[in-house]
Amino acid sequence: MNIGNAVKIIKKDFPSVTISRIRFLEKEGLIKPNRSKGGTRSFSDKDILRIKKILDLQENQFYSLKAIKNNPKLLTSASSNSKIVISNYSQHDALKKSGLKEDDFMELVDYKYEQIKENYSQQDVERFSSLAYLFSLGLGVKNLSVIKSMSDRGVGFFETYFQISDNDPDEIKIAIDKFSEIIGSYILEDL
């Protein structure tokens, strides 16, 4: 696959990845994709996994690129799969790890979908990653109002319904899961 398709696949796990970043990893000798006679890069599944491993080492385990280059065992070692869990992030680090652009974050704050805090949790980072992914698909902050409205209506419906019914908790969970699937299919139907 070409570099653009490789970035789309990797972006699902690492929203901060860009074509120029992959080119830089190649320039540094960390990856060596095959090239066609015309010079076009061709990435295999093995190349994609290696890139993801490098990004994991950088973004989740905080190894520098120099450390990764000087310790090739990090890329093959199973022991490096243990991740460091960070409970608090600065705004800068949370946005960097998630791949969410600062301008997009500030627009989210303006629309009151997010708020500026002193520390951000891992859950915040995961939410920011989801937002970064949606924004990479072409959605904007204004589009979130439709999704939020659907969510609010669904929650209100279920809260009202389940307050007046005698359904058991397992049935409630199944109903919520099914409702989520329906809403998700409507959202994705037009993509």
Q: Last residue of some domain: 106, 122, 139?
A: 139
Q: Are 54 and 115 contained in the same domain? A: no
Backbone dihedral region of 88: left (phi > 0), alpha (psi from -120 to 50 degrees) or beta? beta
Looking at the domain assignment, is residue 32 inside a domain?
yes
What are the 10-residue block averages of pLDDT along the chain, 191 residues in total?
A: 93 90 93 91 94 89 82 70 64 89 94 91 87 85 78 68 63 69 57 47
Q: Are 133 and 147 contained in the same domain? A: no
Instruction: Give the pLDDT score at 159.
Output: 65
Q: Are 69 and 118 contained in the same domain? A: no
In the 3-class helix/strand/coil scheme, how is the chain assigned residue by residue?
CCHHHHHHHHHCCCCCCCHHHHHHHHHCCCCCCEECCCCCEECCHHHHHHHHHHHHHHHCCCCCHHHHHHCCHHHHCHHHHCCCCCCCECHHHHHHHHCCCHHHHHHHHHCCCCCCCCCECHHHHHHHHHHHHHHHCCCCHHHHHHHHHHHHHHHHHHHHHHHCCCCCHHHHHHHHHHHHHHHHHHHHHCC
Instruction: Give the pLDDT score at 117.
Output: 93
Domain count of the chain?
Answer: 3
Q: Are 67 and 20 contained in the same domain? A: yes
Q: Are 46 and 97 contained in the same domain? A: no
Cβ 119 vs Cβ 87: under 8 Å: no
**What's the domain range around 98?**
91-139
Q: Are 115 and 181 contained in the same domain? A: no
